[in-house]
Structure 1
Amino acid sequence: MMRRVFEAALAAMALCAPLILPAVTWAEPRDSSGLRRLDTIEAGRGWEAVGRLDRWGEGFCTGALIAPDLVLTAAHCLFDRNTHAKIDPTSVEFLAGWRNGRASAYRTVKRAIVHPDYVFDGELSAARVRNDLALLQLDRPIRNTTVLPFETDRRPNKGAEVGVVSYAHDRDNAPSLQEVCGVMSRQSGVLVLSCDVDYGSSGAPVFSFEHDMPRIVSVVSAKARVNGEEVSLGVSLDKELALLRAQVEDAAGVRSMPTGVGRVQVGGPRNNTGAKFIRN
């Protein structure tokens, strides 16, 4: 059975005020599987390219390797939530496959490339979730045969089964896998997911299992509440990731849009979603 109206109140993991999204058709949540801790070598095999992001020895977000020197995460992870200022990316360390006090590889971040349309302290809107994407360029590539970068894929359809690997605040000593959760809705570049996330899960990769190997199809931006049920909100990759990759390749254009590339539209026009936003 399909429901038509949902209200998403964004939690403070990414946004600081409630967000009411317009009426859409969304799929009933699938019976999501429970979390499985990947706290042994055997359980964590194949997931080593998911890592914890640390500052001064403390985990604060999740990221995933998509190239030997590139980590995909959420843009809001790179901003101080109190001052709204961008943090020094060189203070961030990527701990690939972090588990029980050890990582498969340790790398510091050399450069952070945030989506050009992302504004951390701007007007609260669905665009902040839709553009909540960043790439971290590592100081050195990871050339470890056990830490293999993940491929990315197109955004999943409504009703598709996906999974999430993350380091939430109450389980940040090892990654946890939720292998089956569902895509409840796709709206203006934002995915509404039935996946279980919490603080520290920001930037976590959302995987599709349609191919022989898991592929990243989204990044966790926030948790929300829909009709009393907790859900998560994910970013669609599509052209947005290609835009960030282009900026990585253009060292002189890290702070500006690449020549000839306008503001990319994903999932339909962005000028008016019909959303109503409420501030505290």
Structure 2
Amino acid sequence: MKRWVIAVLALWLTLPVRAEDEAQIQKERLALFFGHDDRINIPAPYAAPYNAIGRLEVKSGGTCTATLIAPDLAITAAHCFLMTPRKIDAGRWFMAGFHDGKYQARYQVTGQVFHPKFRQGLRYEGDDVYIEPSAAPYDIAVMKLKLKDGQAPEPMPFFQGSRKQLMQTILRAEQQINQGGFAEDHDTILSAHLGCTLTQLRRNGTIFHRCDTLSGDSGSPIWLDLPTGPTLIAVQSSAPDWFNRKLADNVGVTVLQLPPAARKLMKNTGQ
């Protein structure tokens, strides 16, 4: 499955684009959006739960989306730290409530934890990184944070039950989920696809879904609207190439897959 490289695409999109190239870009995006763009832009300043969602910057300058889940922890995709072979591209900043260069709270990333099996299942081809099926369930990470400035938002609660309980919860919600992130076509503002469909909860702890995502949405939260409030159940991982859209839905990794080291961090912060 393809993982888009944010830094490369962001640079490319600043160059002059011919009309025929722009038409091709729109064609590819439309395919990735299952034929129609159903995203909405979230107006700033963001209210809960959107103010817990932020922009993650790694040391190379690449960006992903992440979500505050505790006063000093955020969750994202593991591949955000593995843009180049044989190197961990460590997190630098997480900016919650990011909008047009401003933020509600800025955190320094002091560490990231993901399952070691994930690195073993990555395949690099040019500027692309492909996640092998064996690694797909491990594309989830937790970051340790230190608040530097701003007003900390309330973290987004995340699901803490069993797989069976998650399945029951998804069915009660009629498989309707939400996703929000900083997509590469307007990566300074938060967009969301509300009421999109979760098509399958898989035995390996991943999900298939039909939320509209692009590069930049990697690591973004996928949540359910429950009677107790918005509850994060997964993070965005990957999508097929646009020309393979009919063969597969998008992939998310559920919080059931958090590695033991990440759960230890949560335990230490009372989560």
2:181 alignment partner in structure 1: 166
Pairs within 5 Å for 1:136-175: 136-140=143-147, 144=151, 147-153=153-159, 154=161, 155-156=166-167, 157=170, 160-175=175-190
Residue 85 of structure 1 and its aligned partner are, at CA, apart by 1.2
Q: Structure 2 counterpart of 1:119, which letter?
A: R
1:111 alignment partner in structure 2: 111
**1:60-110: CA deviations, max 9, x gaps?**
1000000000010000101123x3411233xx2001110122000111110
Question: Secondary structure of 1:54's partner?
Answer: strand
2:138 alignment partner in structure 1: 131
Alignment match of 2:219 (pick from 200, 203, 221): 203
For 2:119 and 2:94, the matched residues in 1 are separated by 24
The count of residues paired between Structure 1 and Structure 2 equals: 221
Question: Secondary structure of 1:224's partner?
Answer: coil
Deviates most, 115-124 or 58-67: 115-124
Question: Secondary structure of 1:198's partner?
Answer: coil
Question: Secondary structure of 2:117's partner?
Answer: coil
For 1:212 and 1:119, the matched residues in 2 are separated by 36
Deviates most, 30-39 or 92-101: 30-39
Pairs within 5 Å for 1:1-280: 10-13=1-4, 34-41=38-45, 44-46=46-48, 47-55=50-58, 58=61, 60-81=63-84, 83-89=85-91, 92-119=92-119, 122=122, 125-140=132-147, 144=151, 147-153=153-159, 154=161, 155-156=166-167, 157=170, 160-187=175-202, 188-224=204-240, 228=246, 231-238=249-256, 240-241=257-258, 243-248=260-265
CA distance 1:190–1:249, change in 2 (3 Å): closer
Q: Structure 2 counterpart of 1:172, which letter?
A: D
For 2:245 and 2:55, the matched residues in 1 are separated by 31
CA distance 1:242–1:144, change in 2 (3 Å): farther
**1:97-137: CA deviations, max 9, x gaps?**
10122000111110111123322555753232211111110
**1:130-160: CA deviations, max 9, x gaps?**
1111111012488836x11011115454651
Q: Structure 2 counterpart of 1:85, which letter?
A: K
Note if contact 1:69-1:142 (Cα within 8 Å) is conserved in structure 2. Answer: no
Question: Secondary structure of 2:136's partner?
Answer: helix
Residue 33 of structure 1 and its aligned partner are, at CA, apart by 7.9
The 4+ residue runs of structure 1 with deviation greater than 4 A are: 30-33, 56-59, 120-124
Q: Normalising by structure 1, report the TM-score.
A: 0.69
Q: Normalising by structure 2, report the TM-score.
A: 0.71
CA distance 1:140–1:101, change in 2 (3 Å): closer
CA distance 1:189–1:161, change in 2 (3 Å): same
Question: Secondary structure of 2:66's partner?
Answer: strand
For 1:135 and 1:214, the matched residues in 2 are separated by 19
Question: Secondary structure of 1:87's partner?
Answer: coil
For 1:216 and 1:79, the matched residues in 2 are separated by 24
For 2:267 and 2:193, the matched residues in 1 are separated by 36
Relative to its length, the structure with more helix (as a share) is 2
Note if contact 2:104-2:150 (Cα within 8 Å) is conserved in structure 1. Answer: no
- Alignment gaps of 5+ in structure 2: 6-33, 124-130
Note if contact 1:126-1:190 (Cα within 8 Å) is conserved in structure 2. Answer: no
Note if contact 1:109-1:136 (Cα within 8 Å) is conserved in structure 2. Answer: yes
Deviates most, 59-68 or 117-126: 117-126
Note if contact 2:108-2:148 (Cα within 8 Å) is conserved in structure 1. Answer: no
Question: Secondary structure of 1:209's partner?
Answer: strand
For 2:261 and 2:43, the matched residues in 1 are separated by 32
After superposition, the CA RMSD in angstroms is: 3.1
Residue 177 of structure 1 and its aligned partner are, at CA, apart by 1.2
